């Protein structure tokens, strides 16, 4: 089932320009088969195929696109253990985690199917003409969101199912009516190919053009560059590092016709420990904190990398509890050797800085085998502010507990924060009232504020926002998780003075699909007779 070929608009292509292998994360040995490096001609073919299929995709009925997404969910599940076993070999993610993530990917398909059937996401609005209005007659004006065109998706290394070939970016683009070209992640190309074949099969079942999807594989940065720079690409979705996301943003901005890059690029996700909660349950918070730091070997963009608490006995109790729980954490294999090497290098730098102390370590792992050791550090706020290295995301199971003298220190740190995906506040209701200024500051800095919890573990529901001000994301208005992610791949079009038979059906007075619309300022599904 895995051939190592490019999947380009319904056909398979055996690349002739170099090959690479996936690596077994457990033993470092190459996995079969060899995968070809996509070349510029294949990029052009994929983008032209996507463009040729775009009109059919955008004019397909909501029901037809919804059926396609439900067929895709069925195809993913039909792979069974084959998909889980290949993903385990390529990522070392535990089977329980992979099974849960597969469920999330399947549920995303079904959520978007329900969303486009319901229809309100398109923001349909109608304002009827008032020809007798004085002093100026009012024309008939109608508006809706329409898909923008071919989308390029860069999948994440740490979510091979939910933020990958069949992840939120791809599924939301399809739901909007776009065609999609995915750049497979070179760390798990076999998983990518299996999922790419699911998309191809679902398009066939739904009787939608196979040219609407391509999967290009390769390790070269030139492949990503070519996809972003191709003139038929209309938007880009990316999940990964700040360095990678910023490079794509710069490429997109430098095009003769710039396009948006919706990049989610990581965060240090500060945690604020307020006095009331610390007096009540410092030890319990410490246990939950270590669980969050080490969840998924710390390979989450919402990992709590910096914690701030007030100096004193309560913070000392928290540190002691964190040390006890961290010491029990086994060494765990990271996604691939490169990530583990970067983790070791990052925490090594922290260890060399003045007034930075290692509070506790978990069981020692072999970095040569890609195993990471949990590490909890502590420092003063002054040192955290003075050393940029301490405020830079280190991907893995590590965190820094920062000692503050008073609440003013926390406010000062919050005001100086760059954009973040999340921030967490542990407190009592009275703490929240007394520290309302902290919340007001974080509202300007953060995409999601969590009370008495941590950012790890995201619920993909309509109310979820996964994004934040730069550099957490390239555009703080949009989410990369949840059904509102569809809004990245659409734009409004206004129709003025059109006859009924020349309008999109959902904007006609008859409203045959009973879509939710704003009619002269009032929401209704009714036809306008």
Write the DSSP assignment of 77-114 as a string of letters.
Answer: HHTTHHHHHHHHHHH---HHHHHHHHHHHHHHHHHHHH
Cα separation, 356 vs 350, in Å, equals: 7
Q: At what angle do helices 168-176 and 62-78 cross, to 10 degrees?
A: 150
* Biggest alpha carbon–alpha carbon distance for the chain: 81
Helix and strand numbers (H, E) in the chain are: 15, 23
CA atoms within 13 A on the CB side of 319: 20
CB-based burial label for 227 (10 Å; 0-12, 13-18, 19+)? buried
List all residues 6 or more positions away from 499 whose beta carbon is below 8 Å from its beta carbon. none
Q: Out of 109, 301, 340, 398, which one is annotated catalytic?
A: 301
420 strand-pairing partners = 446
Of 408, 454, 429, the C-alpha closest to 280 is 429
Cα separation, 20 vs 30, in Å, equals: 9
Q: Could you give phi then psi for residue 83, rounded to 5 degrees?
A: -65, -45
Radius of gyration of the chain (CA): 25
Cα separation, 239 vs 291, in Å, equals: 24
Cα distances (Å, whole numbers) of residue 483 to 171, 211, 365? 10, 25, 39
Of 58, 50, 60, the C-alpha closest to 7 is 50
Cα separation, 428 vs 276, in Å, equals: 6
Beta strands in 197-316 (DSSP E): 213-216, 235-239, 261-264, 271-273, 306-310
* Residue 243 CB neighbours (<10 A): 9
Cα separation, 115 vs 143, in Å, equals: 19
As a residue count, the chain comes to 529
Asked about 354 being catalytic, the answer comes back as no
Asked about 264 being catalytic, the answer comes back as yes
Q: Are 5 and 33 in contact (CB under 8 A)?
A: no
Cα separation, 72 vs 63, in Å, equals: 14
Of 155, 77, 81, 153, the C-alpha closest to 109 is 77
Cα separation, 56 vs 248, in Å, equals: 29
Cis status of the peptide bond prior to 33, with omega within 30 of 0: yes
* DSSP 8-state code for residue 26: T
* Residue 182 CB neighbours (<10 A): 30
Q: Out of 37, 45, 75, 264, which one is annotated catalytic?
A: 264
31 strand-pairing partners = 22
12 strand-pairing partners = 7
Catalytic residues: 264, 301
């Amino acid at each position: 089932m895995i051939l190592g070929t490019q999947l380009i608009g319904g056909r398979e292509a055996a690349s002739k320009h170099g090959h690479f292998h996936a690596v077994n994360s457990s033993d470092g040995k190459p996995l079969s088969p060899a995968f070809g490096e996509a070349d510029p001609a294949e990029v052009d073919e994929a983008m032209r195929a996507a463009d040729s299929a775009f009109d059919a995709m955008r004019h397909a009925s909501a029901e037809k696109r919804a059926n396609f997404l439900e067929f895709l969910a069925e195809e993913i599940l039909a792979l069974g253990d084959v998909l889980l076993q290949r993903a385990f070999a390529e990522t070392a993610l535990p089977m329980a985690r992979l099974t849960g993530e597969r469920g999330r990917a399947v549920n995303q398909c079904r959520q978007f199917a329900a969303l486009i059937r319901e229809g309100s996401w398109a923001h349909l609005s109608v304002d009827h003409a008032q020809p007798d209005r004085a002093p100026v007659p009012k024309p008939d004006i109608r508006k809706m969101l329409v898909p923008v065109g071919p989308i390029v998706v860069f999948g994440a290394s740490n979510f091979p199912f939910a933020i990958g070939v069949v992840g939120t970016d791809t599924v939301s683009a399809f739901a909007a009516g776009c065609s999609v070209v995915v750049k497979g992640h070179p760390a798990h190309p076999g998983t990518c190919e299996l999922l790419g074949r699911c998309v191809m099969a679902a398009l066939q079942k739904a009787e939608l053009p196979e040219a609407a999807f391509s999967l290009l594989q390769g390790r070269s940065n030139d492949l990503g560059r070519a996809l972003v720079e191709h003139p038929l690409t209309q938007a880009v979705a990316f999940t990964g590092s700040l360095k990678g996301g910023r490079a794509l943003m710069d490429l997109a901005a430098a095009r003769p016709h710039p396009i948006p890059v919706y990049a989610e690029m990581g965060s240090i996700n500060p945690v604020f420990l307020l006095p009331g909660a610390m007096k009540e349950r410092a030890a319990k918070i410490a246990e939950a904190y270590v669980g969050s730091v080490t969840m998924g070997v710390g390979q989450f963009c919402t990992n709590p990398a910096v914690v701030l608490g007030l100096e004193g006995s309560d913070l000392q109790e928290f540190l002691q509890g964190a040390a006890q729980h961290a010491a029990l954490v086994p060494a765990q294999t990271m996604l691939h050797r490169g990530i583990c090497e970067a983790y070791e290098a990052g925490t090594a730098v922290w260890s060399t800085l003045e007034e930075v102390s290692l509070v506790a370590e978990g069981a020692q792992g072999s970095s040569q085998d890609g195993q990471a050791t949990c590490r909890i550090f502590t420092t003063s706020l002054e040192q955290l502010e003075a050393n940029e290295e301490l405020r830079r995301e280190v991907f893995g199971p590590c965190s820094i507990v920062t000692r503050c003298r008073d609440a003013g220190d926390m406010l000062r740190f919050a005001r100086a924060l760059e954009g973040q995906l999340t921030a967490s506040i542990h407190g009592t209701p009275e703490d929240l009232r007394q520290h309302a200024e902290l919340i007001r500051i974080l509202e300007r800095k953060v995409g999601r504020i969590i009370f008495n919890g941590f950012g790890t573990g995201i619920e993909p529901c309509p109310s979820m926002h996964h994004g934040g001000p730069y550099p957490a994301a390239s555009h703080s208005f949009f989410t990369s998780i949840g059904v509102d992610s569809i809004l990245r791949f659409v734009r409004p079009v206004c129709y003025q003075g059109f006859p009924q038979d020349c309008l999109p059906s959902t904007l006609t007075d008859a409203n045959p699909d009973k879509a939710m619309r704003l009619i002269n300022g009032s929401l209704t599904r009714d036809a306008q007779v």
